[in-house]
Amino acid sequence: MGKTDPAILATMRPAHQGLRVPDREAAIAWYCDKLAMRVTRAFTLGPLTFTELEFASGGEFKLELASGGGEDDRPDGEGLMESFARHGWHHFALWVDDVDETVSVLRNRNVRITLDPTDNQDWKVRVAFFSDPWGNVTELLQPI
């Protein structure tokens, strides 16, 4: 069947999450300081600069910051449930060994927690949410 074979779809796997940020240096500092990420590479394409960040755990999945002029601001002080009112990508999720301890560390680093750790019995996970200073949402997951 070649290239039209639907089995090719089974080769898809996560590579990176693109994230638009208003201030490249501030975003790099926040993600490196608060989440212990590190810059792996950067390049410019037209008016935008793309900066790839790697999690301390390594792995193939990266966070790609896109910066440069022309972005729109998100509503200030928006809570988790209000943030679901917008169309488009809402959040990305990270597996952690201990949601409660991770949230405690993030709180000590002055990260805004938008949903305290709670159990979701339907999905058999403990879950919490936080956001960066620009309103980008991340979910933490732990199997229960």
d(CA 19, CA 21): 6
CB 52 within 8 A of CB 44: no
Q: Which helix (H) or strand (E) holds 39?
A: strand 38-45
Percent of the chain topping pLDDT 90: 67
Q: Do 98 and 130 fall into the same domain? A: yes
Question: How many Å from the N-terminal Cα to the C-terminal Cα in the chain?
Answer: 42
Question: Is 6 domain-assigned?
Answer: no
Range of the domain at 63: 14-68
Query: Is the pLDDT score of 78 beyond 80?
Result: no
Average pLDDT over residues 54-77: 83
Domain assignment present for residue 128? The answer is yes
DSSP state of 102: H
